[in-house]
Amino acid sequence: MFEGRRIQAQLLKGTLPLLVLATLRDTELHGYEIVKRIREQSSGTFAPSEGSLYPVLHRLETEGALEATWRAGDGGPRRRYYRLTRAGLTALERAEREWSTFAGGVRRVAFEGPSDA
């Protein structure tokens, strides 16, 4: 199904919050759906496990970046819908900047020779 090769686990470290916050930028979603979106958007490159996702959601909620509400499941168990708070939007913007800095650094070191600075 998802042929995109999975990425070394270590690389993903630290990016999950960014991915989650970005996924919730315009919609509110519940956990399973968040994983699904991330997997689809990344063409299967990322497939965070539940053991990774839920702790992150809880941490972001504790930090005030996300708000959550329980809703009755549509023919299934209840779901917890998460949405971005104002603080969450700020956190998202910060995470985006941080990612850009990070990715830019890797590009300079790894893809631009020492001479073409």
Q: How far is residue 67 from each of residues 10, 81, 97, measured CA to CA in Å?
A: 28, 8, 23
Residue 37: CB partners within 8 Å, gap ≥ 6? 23, 29
* Interface mask toward DNA for 39-78; x: CB under 7 A: --------xxxxxx-xxxxx-------------xx-xxxx
Task: Tell me the residue ranges of DSSP E strands in 42-97.
Answer: 66-71, 79-84
Smaller CB distance to DNA: residue 44 or 87? 44
Which parts of this chain interact with a copy of itself (CB under 8 A)?
4-5, 7-15, 18-19, 22-23, 25-27, 37-38, 41-43, 45-46, 95-96, 98-99, 101-106, 108-114, 117
